[in-house]
Amino acid sequence: MKFAELAKYLERLEKTSSRIEITKILAELFKKSDSNEIDKIVYLLLGSLAPSYKNIVFNIAERMMLKAIAKAYQKDIENVRDLYKKMGDLGNIAEELSKSKGKSKFEEFSVGVIYQKLMAVAQDEGEGSQERKIEQMAEILFKLDPLSVRFIARIPVGKLRLGFSDKTILDALSWMKHGDKSAKNDLEKAYNVLPDVGKLAKLVKKVGVKKASKKIKPIVGVPILPMLAQRLKSPSDMIKKMREVAVEPKFDGLRIQIHYSKSNSKSKRVGFIKAFTRNLNETSWMFPELESIASQVKANQVILDTEAIGVDEKRKTLANFQTTMTRRRKYEIEDIAKKISIKFYVFDILHCDGKNLINLSYLERRKILDKVVVNGKLLEVVDYKITKDPKVIEDMMRKELSEGLEGVIVKRANSRYVAGRTGWRWVKMKEEESARAKLADTLDCIVMGYYAGRGKRSGFGMGGFLVGVLTDLEQKTKDKEEKLEGGKIYTFTKIGTGLKDDQFRELKKRLSSLEVKEKPKEYGKVEKNLLPDVWVIPSLVVEIAADEITKSPTHSSGYALRFPRLVKFRDDKSFDQATTISEIEKLFKFQKS
């Protein structure tokens, strides 16, 4: 397929807000694509070159793209910057300037060729790479037609944002093969084990959905989507729904999936250690200690589910989440590692020496885990207690809280490992950090935009911000989707109090690179009195505490928070892992009862 043809589909998708229509357009595009290019098309549709766990990034800032546009069309950089201030979109600027060339100077490239050119830009590193990236991008822009450059200019700076994510791609693959969503469950099961929609699309194109689903198994080095906990208010409800359960301590740490492969000279297997967060980012650099994992693992290859906890050496206590997260400062990691040692509390095993363990029960997996991992300085297997008695859950809850932990995780003893929050398999029970809060739990919300500050807050550059939550698309009717403008993120609450000065400054700093001129397509209806002064793309997740959830006729989610306040930034979560409306409904019922 020529990239110019793909650009026409991109334009159609950009103009479409209806989820079902987007799905149909994607299905049409996938039917036209051949199996050698569909993976590349999928990545480009998502504004990337590979799944997030591969860490392939462009490292191109907007100022660099402005220079590339100026160089491509031989314009003065100041004039291009002025255009950007007026138009606010790099793609529209590139398209407008490209039109002045005349049709005779455009070249036609296949999607594969453009993909490889962009990959070369992303992989260019080292001294002088910024200048080379600008040169390479200028060359690509100069040779393409105006419509194509509109989208090419947006991709490297993360501003393509067509309003859909991996899950919509899965729906479209079902439509491509069956003309409906009937294959969605099979595709989601496959995606949970191999969260690479490009690779999955290529496999589906070649062998169909059923065969593709059967072929996919856990691969050491490729993250598996994590299993997540739901909420239930009382231990008696937990026993009623799950019967026999395992009760584990709940840590306030960073969820880390460890992938370990021992080198083997006979099979020529090269050893490696990889660590993935719950949003599938590869963060091995944060944990140099993992290089010594071999002495505590009695296996050649394993995938372990763990909670990474910083240890306060002075107090000899476990550090909190925010302290642990200081390790994300990449260039200070050696110094930070000396100050904050790390321990991984292992609570599950998903793969061992070529065997897929996710379909085994919790108890069967724990028996294997106890044999594979040796407790030591770096790894420690989490204790658990099997029970059918609600009182045991209550007693363990009190015990863990008294020892400074968050509470307990209650897990169904016969449950296999299933990604996400499905069924009553895992349930968390914890005490809110703020004694003032009345909610059973905090909420993970998506920052949608912010409001200009007044008085003292004008110095921060913002005075408050708007957050939203995810809708459950399967529960929406088409009428409701159209009424709410087709987005999947609905407004939930405005937050202007409860932040410290340094939190305001940190938030403004984080949002600066996410600002856009117009409301992103992912957002549903926003009432006039809630419209932020500055929109941001859905990316930053924040943990919010509050006194209570209330019904709201103003917010499109139908709910709001009373006395909301920022707890922390959730850098370990992507926006599609935020709290959903159905979860809010459950919490609303909990507080009423």
Question: Model confidence over 27-80: pLDDT tens digits?
Answer: 999 999 999 999 999 999 999 999 989 989 899 999 999 999 999 999 999 999
- Alpha helices, DSSP H only, in 52-89? 62-72, 77-87
Burial class of 161 by CB neighbour count within 10 A (0 to 12, 13 to 18, 19+): middle
- pLDDT for the residue 339: 65
Q: What are phi and psi of 382, to 5 degrees?
A: -70, 135
Return the closest-CA partner of residue 277 out of 225, 324, 314, 326: 225
**What does CATH list as the number for 443-592?**
2.40.50.140
In whole angstroms, what is the distance from residue 349 CA to residue 379 CA?
A: 13
Give the side-chain half-sphere CA count within 13 A for 316.
0
Q: Where in the chain is the domain with CATH 2.40.50.140?
A: 443-592
Q: 470 in helix, strand or coil?
A: strand
Q: What's the CATH architecture for 47-157?
A: Orthogonal Bundle (1.10)
Q: How many Å is the maximal CA-CA distance in the chain?
A: 79
- In this prediction, residue 496 carries a pLDDT of 86
Q: Where in the chain is the domain with CATH 3.30.470.30?
A: 230-430
Q: How far is CA 135 from CA 65, 129, 455, in A?
A: 10, 10, 44
Q: Quick count: other Cβ atoms within 10 Å of Cβ 215?
A: 12
For residue 100, the model assigns a pLDDT of 80
Q: Domain 230-430 is of which CATH architecture?
A: 2-Layer Sandwich (3.30)
pLDDT of residue 316: 53
Q: Find, among 378, 377, 379, the residue nearest to 369 by Cα.
A: 379
Alpha helices, DSSP H, located in 281-384: 321-324, 333-339, 362-372
Tell me the C-alpha distance between 354 and 327, whole Å.
32
pLDDT tens for residues 197-218?
Answer: 999 999 999 999 999 988 898 9
For residue 46, give the nearest of 176, 130, 146, 172 by alpha carbon. Answer: 172
**pLDDT < 50 positions in the chain:** 432-437, 475-479, 481-483
559: which 2 tokens?
Answer: 């709910």
CA atoms of 191 and 166, how far apart (whole Å): 9
Amino acid at 436: R
What's this model's pTM, rounded to 2 decimal places? Answer: 0.82
Catalytic residues: 250
Please list, in sequence order, all residues whose beta carbon lies within 8 angstroms of the beta carbon of residue 475, skipping any fewer than 6 positions away.
582
Token pair for residue 389? 């008695």
- List where CATH 1.10.3260.10 sits in the chain: 47-157
Residue 304, SS3 per DSSP:
strand
- Distance of alpha carbon 122 from alpha carbon 129, whole angstroms: 10
